[in-house]
Amino acid sequence: MRRPVDVKAHFQFLFSVSLFPFSQAAPVAIGHAQSPINIANAKKADLPVLRFNYNVVPLSIVDNGHTIMVNYAPGRTLVVGDKTYTLKQFHFHHPSEERINGNYDLVVHLVHADVDGHNAVVAILFEKGAALSPLLDAL
């Protein structure tokens, strides 16, 4: 069942940002390092392993007027080094906000948070192809 969404409340932040000159407070906000980004000529690095501890749960799918967001029940985690993050939700962007040496059609952002409120977001990039995606078909 589709629940009504208060789009005005969801976009309240977007409506109010023009009142504050972000480019003065954070020079990165002038648009040169914002989405979409293209990661080109990436170099290998020694990074900690991402350990996903997920299992099957009922999903709460919400169309918030901006994207399709899937809220996740507590208890699913991502461990990076010695830090544990709980999966809060995932959502989609079309076209993708990230690129690696070119374009991608879709990105899924898996949004996790630790107990102190620090986020860890994992991006999964999709390319359009002939094969069906059981994951996307299920959603």
CATH number of the domain enclosing 70? 3.10.200.10
Residue 1 falls within a domain, yes or no?
no
Domain of residue 69, residue span: 7-138
- Dump pLDDT digits (tens) for 44-77: 899 999 999 998 888 889 888 888 899 988 889 9
Element (H, E) at 7: helix 7-10
2 domain-assigned: no
- The count of structural domains within the chain is 1
DSSP 75: T
Work out the average pLDDT over 116-124: 93
Establish if 92 belongs to a structural domain. Answer: yes
User: What is the set of active-site residues?
Assistant: 66
The answer to whether residue 23 sits within a structural domain is yes
CB atoms within 10 A of CB 89: 16
Spatial distance between the Cα atoms of 21 and 40, rounded to a whole number of angstroms? 30
The answer to the question of residue 29 being in a domain is yes
Average pLDDT of the segment spanning 85-99 = 89
Convert the pLDDT of each residue in 8-55 to its tens digit: 444 333 333 344 444 454 455 555 555 667 888 888 899 999 999 998
Tell me, yes or no, whether 132 lies in a domain. Answer: yes
Instruction: Report d(CA 27, CA 57) in Å as an integer.
Output: 41
**pLDDT at 46 (0 to 100):** 92
Give me the pLDDT at residue 54, please: 92
